[in-house]
Structures are given as C-alpha cells and as structure tokens.
Amino acid sequence: MSSRYSVSIEGTELRDVDEVDRKKFTMYTLIVRVDGAAADDDASSCWTLSRRYSQFDALRVALLATSPASATGVPVFPPKVAFGNLAAAIVGNRRVGLEAWLNALLHHDDDTVRGAAQLAAFIEAQRESLYAEGGDFPALPAGSRDVQGRSFVDAAYRDHFVVYSVGSRYNFQQLQNRMQPAQEALLERYPDILLTLVNAADLLIVPPALRGQVLPFLVKVDNQNAALSATKFGTNVKNAPHSSHRMHFFAAFEAGLLETLGLIDGAWTFRVVVTLNGKVVKSLQSSTPNFTEEYVGGIAAFVDGEGGERYRLPAALRGVEGAGAAAGAGAAAAPSASTTTTMKAGGTAEQRVVVDASQLAGGDCWVAWEFSTAVKDIGFAVRFVPEGSEDGAAETIMPLRRYDSHKFEVRGCTRAYCPGTFVLMHDNTHSRWKSKTLTAHAHVVQCAPQ
C-alpha cells in the first residue's frame, strides 16, 4: 500500500445466523483514515468497513503464510474462545486487541507486511469500484449452472439489465439489506423493466465435505427469494405480467466463477455490477453512499434516455389479458391456444407453444400466457426445448412454483430468442385429494423492434 492508514474500531453489531455456521456472530465497525487526513475529509481519505472476528483471523493466517514477519513487532492477536464469544466482555476485549493488532500491521517496519496484498484487500476493498462505467463485463464461464441447475447464457438476455451481485457469509445480510429497498424502488418506478438478477455466494470457505449439506439450504433461499420477488412484482400480481424479471443464484464453492467476474474479494465486501448488453452501467459496493439512489439512477439514465423503450416490456404486453389485448400498435398476436380442463389430484397438464424462424425474423417475439383455477392454487413452470432437440434437453425458464390462481388470473410472458417449443406446465401434484378446473391461454406475440 502506498499510503499509511490508521484504523479505529468504533462499534459492534450482532448479526443473525450466516448460511454456513448457522449461529449468531459479531461484526466490528472499522473507520479507516489516511494518516494526516482531517476528520472531515472526503471518502477518499476516510471510509467505513464491517469485519467479523473470523475475517481478522483469516487475515492473520494469510499474512503468516506470505509475510512471516507479521508475527513479530505486533500485539498478541486476541485468542479464540470455546464459549461466550458474544459476551460483552469478550467482544470489548477483542475490539481493543484487534484495533491495536491491525494498526501495528499497517505501520509495520517490514515492507512485506505493510505492503502485503492481503492487508490491502482487507482495508481497501471498498474504496473503488472494480469496473469502469461503459467498460466491458466478462461473460460467465461456459456451462455455468445455478443452484437450480439452470444455465446462464448472456445472449439470452439481450436488452436486459443484468445485475451481478456477489456476497459472502460475512456480508450476505448486509447485501440483502441494501439490495431489497433498491430493487423495490427500481421496480416501483419501472415495473415493466427487463431485468435479470445474477447472485453469487462466495462460499470458498466451505469444505468439500459440507457442500452437499449447504446446497439444499441455498436452493431453499433461492426459492424464497423468487417467491418474494414474484409476490411483490411478479406474475401472480394482477396487471403485472413479469417473467421478464428473472433470478439466478450461483454457489461459488470454487474460485473460477469469482475470478472470471473479477469479484474474488467478496469475503471482504459485497459487489453489485449492473450491466447491459455486456457493458457496465453501474458498479456499487458495500461502502457506496446513497446506494438506492445510485442503483436506480444508473439504470434510469438508460431507460429514460433515447431508445430506452427497448429495455422495457413491449407496450403490447403490459397488462396482457389474452390474444386480443396483446395485439397493440406494432404487435401481432398468433391465435390463442386456449384450454379448459379438469386436473386430477396429483396430476399435471401442459401447453406447448411453438416459435419458428419466420416469427423471429419479423421482430421481437414473445410467448404470453394467462391461467386461472376455480378453487385453490396451482403450480406452474416454463421450459424451453430448442428446435431439433428432445424434451430431455429442455432448459428451465421459470422453475416450478405455486400461484394463487384461484384469487386472480395469473399472467406472464417470456421472450423467444431462437426457434423451439415452450412447454407451459401446470402442476397439481401437491394436492392429494383436490381436483381443479384450469382455464389457460397461451399465444405468441410479435412486436416490431423498439
């Protein structure tokens, strides 16, 4: 590090359980200042970090491996305790000891300690964005699959805002606390925006033997987040036809995914990078002030700018209520495939909608659907089978989830990028005794390029 820093630990915060240890922990609030800077200087001279004891310990171990001199000329590192690590006395002693230990490292006589990359990452990780706005953002490694087994192909999200966020067990809660209000503010302003969330959990710390235990928990978290998103803004909310909001959750047990994205320091800070067609729109992180305003403002500059309509659901599909309603200006709807059927308890029913090359050649092509049930809810999922492929090669577009289709008509749509068949699956397997009357419509909508 070229600058000398001083650190003060100003406070502590008790956090809820993390996704690995399943127990509460203490976060220490660090104020980092460039030596000689005035207290009221700007963020380039003073910033705030949150770290937990295990992160300090991980730094200690990493420094011992690369800079053995870090073991000399510094106060004793506060030891681990078998019990009572949340007790006020233990937390207070650690706060004093960790502050003294870290400052000794930052002002160490040995350049290999003071200039260690691990120490710089620990202190400086949140100071600057990794990606310049307007620059290129790397594609995910080929064959990347999320916790649900779904692949992510950048080409499938043309004109979508793709929001990459990376957090670790240390800052996952903080990431959620920042992103949820920002996302709500964005979708309140642009409920029809084309948006895809790609979340990656930095789980490098999880040993291989435990990964099989952690993965089901992550799938559960993903399902809960998808349900929450759909409840607020998704297809089961009247007049909100949005499968244009999608989510992918990746468990980064290995470094490859994080290294490709250039977000390997997720253990120290969370990162959020908004992209559009492979270019960076906005880069944010834990220490970004006015996080919601920056997030929404960065996207709004494109949506409200010239040609911004193409980043939103086509006007013909906003509030879609069937083939007739969908055919607005610049749009043409194919004949609706409509069915009314009785689904037996434990049974399923599917609709197949074929999109061919001629339809795609005419402009943007969407598959839209509406369905309702007379009593009780129903499960629904969407899969896509590329032209010339068998059903076994189907990609999941929307994973199976139950919808309150007995309360109001469920509406949705998804964009077609290549010829093939969309399989709309209605699922009643969760019901052991109750048959349900299902009314469903599906159709292709062609829109002139926006």
List the Cα angle 161/246/165 in 5-degree steps: 60
Domains: count for the chain = 3
Secondary structure of 187-230 in HEC code, one letter for each residue: HHHCCCECEEEEEEEECCCCCHHHHHHHHHHHHHHHHHHHHHHH
- In this structure, the answer to whether residues 248 and 346 fall within a common structural domain is no
**Domain holding 275: CATH number?**
3.40.30
- In this structure, the answer to whether residues 161 and 305 fall within a common structural domain is yes
- In this structure, the answer to whether residues 187 and 80 fall within a common structural domain is no
Domain for residue 80, yes or no? yes
- In this structure, the answer to whether residues 199 and 302 fall within a common structural domain is yes
Within 13 A of 32's CA, how many CA atoms are on the CB side? 24
pLDDT at 304 over 80: yes
Q: What is the pLDDT of residue 365?
A: 86
User: What confidence tens digit (pLDDT) does each residue in 22-76 have?
Assistant: 578 888 988 888 877 665 555 567 878 888 898 899 889 889 988 889 888 889 9
- In this structure, the answer to whether residues 59 and 79 fall within a common structural domain is yes
Q: Give the residue numbers spanning the domain of 226.
A: 154-311
- In this structure, the answer to whether residues 46 and 159 fall within a common structural domain is no
How far is it, in rounded angstroms, from Cα 251 to Cα 97? 34
User: Percent of the chain beyond pLDDT 90?
Assistant: 23
User: What confidence tens digit (pLDDT) does each residue in 337-355 have?
Assistant: 567 889 899 999 999 999 9
Alpha carbon 253 to its chain centroid, in Å, reads 16
pLDDT band at 320 (very low <50, low <70, confident <90, very high): very low
- In this structure, the answer to whether residues 365 and 296 fall within a common structural domain is no
- In this structure, the answer to whether residues 246 and 321 fall within a common structural domain is no
pTM value? 0.67
Domain for residue 185, yes or no? yes
Q: What is the CA radius of gyration of the chain?
A: 25
What the block records as the tokens of 357 is 């090359």
**Domain holding 62: CATH number?**
3.30.1520.10
Residue where a domain terminates, one of 124, 143, 168:
124
Residue where a domain terminates, one of 311, 340, 368:
311
Residue where a domain terminates, one of 82, 104, 124:
124
- In this structure, the answer to whether residues 159 and 259 fall within a common structural domain is yes
Domain for residue 140, yes or no? no
- In this structure, the answer to whether residues 43 and 92 fall within a common structural domain is yes
- In this structure, the answer to whether residues 297 and 333 fall within a common structural domain is no
- In this structure, the answer to whether residues 99 and 241 fall within a common structural domain is no
pLDDT band at 266 (very low <50, low <70, confident <90, very high): low
